[in-house]
Amino acid sequence: MRVTLYRDHHAWCPYCQKVWLWLEEKRIPYRVRKVTMVCYGQKESWYRQLVPSGMLPALELDGQLITESDRILLALEAAFGPLRFAMEAPEVMPLRRLERLLFRAWCQWLCVPHPGPSSETQAAQDFDRMATSMAEVLGAAPGPFLLGEISSADLVFVPYVERMVASLAYYKGYLLRRRHAAIDRWFLALEERPAYLATQSDFHTHAHDLPPQMGGCYADGSPHQRQLAQRIDYGPWPMAAPGEDDPETSQAEPPDAVAVALARVLRHRRTLVARYGDSGDADSFDTALRCALTLLSRGSACPPPGGTAAGLRSLAQRISVPRDMPLHAARRLRQALLQTAALDPVAAAAPGHPLPLQHRRDQDPQPFLMVSREQA
């Protein structure tokens, strides 16, 4: 096989997603080797030997190692042809510049603490102006994508615009897809594509994986923002009132969502019990997890052993999409865990362990990788 993609274990890296999507859209056969990001664990020594900087993604093409996502796409274009429009085509270059301007405006709003309402408002307006520029390009296109049909130009935008939608909902109460109809249509078209759905994350995952990667994300503290963040963290899902579009996805829940969630938990049950059994009583947390899975699979509420609510909530807050399971399966599992935690006869209100902001080493993949190797 000519191509090996080195990407992060958790599918958090936006630059990895860009290359991953390109390979899938072009239907290029490739191997995947997964690497730990420093924000959630120790970088593998074998990867440091291969790529001393440790940067992701990397790609091996015909024995040549390439880093940096744009350089990777240029090399792939040279080997396999462009995805409709080349990265350096005159139609694409101004769009790539627009994406960087949009990214900069997002960072200035999300990742900079604003000293007062006027600064916050100015940053919001600056971002909205750049989002309007993207929407205008989409509105002028002959199809739902930036150049009519999906191309490399869209894949440049996808990773960070997906993260903008999630993070601005959580930290600013700003619903990008509802604000800009053309961007919503773009996502609707993306969500019809299996390649995109395979890489798509959810609001909860992005809201909590971004702070250590971006150096901080700052909430505006408005009532609407706090309400929306609460809904993203604790449901219920979908997050739309009757008659409204779901701001997170246009896709209906597939019939196998519960089965997928159940299968993923059962595969890693022992590791989950060892990690989230707060009291040190593995048997109690194992029973609590069984109660949640009974609710998930049968709809039958089952009070867990006393003192297990904190562990159930900690697990619910650490489900990662698409690493662990697709979006709808994750919603189902989170809801079952949270509802079961509320039935704890001793500590129903016990909070889960707080999600760290400076790192995400609580998401170290190594214990789960050991299980996967044992089952291989």
pLDDT 10s digits, 52-82: 999 999 999 999 999 999 999 999 999 999 9
Half-sphere exposure of 154 (CA within 13 A, CB side): 26
Considering only CA atoms, which of 328, 321, 161 is closest in space to residue 238? 328
Considering only CA atoms, which of 153, 162, 240 is closest in space to residue 203? 162
Q: In the prediction, which pLDDT does 110 show?
A: 98
Q: In the prediction, which pLDDT does 131 show?
A: 98
Q: Could you tell me the domains of the chain?
A: 3-80 (3.40.30.10), 93-234 (1.20.1050.10), 257-375 (no CATH)
Q: In the prediction, which pLDDT does 374 show?
A: 53
What phi and psi, each to the nearest 5 degrees, are found at residue 20? -55, -50
Q: In the predicted model, what is the mean pLDDT of the chain?
A: 95
Instruction: Report the DSSP beta bridge partners of residue 35.
Output: 8
Give the span between the Cα atoms of 340 and 287, in whole angstroms: 11
Q: Which residue has the higher pLDDT, 365 or 335?
A: 335
In this prediction, residues 226-236 reach a mean pLDDT of 96
Q: In the prediction, which pLDDT does 375 show?
A: 55
Indicate if the pLDDT at residue 8 is higher than 60: yes
Give the confidence band of 376 by pLDDT, cuts at 50, 70, 90. Answer: very low
Q: In the prediction, which pLDDT does 282 show?
A: 86
Place of tokens 């006869």: 345
The pairs formed by 171-175 with CB atoms below 8 angstroms and a separation of 24 or more are 171/110, 171/207, 171/217, 171/218, 171/219, 171/220, 171/225, 171/229, 172/109, 172/110, 172/124, 172/219, 172/220, 172/225, 173/220, 173/222, 173/224, 173/225, 173/226, 173/227, 173/228, 173/229, 174/124, 175/247
Q: In the prediction, which pLDDT does 371 show?
A: 58
DSSP tag of 60: E
pLDDT 10s digits, 114-130: 998 999 999 999 999 99
In this prediction, residues 189-212 reach a mean pLDDT of 97
In this prediction, residues 269-295 reach a mean pLDDT of 90
Residues 6+ apart with CB under 8 A from 10: 37, 40, 209, 320, 323, 363, 365
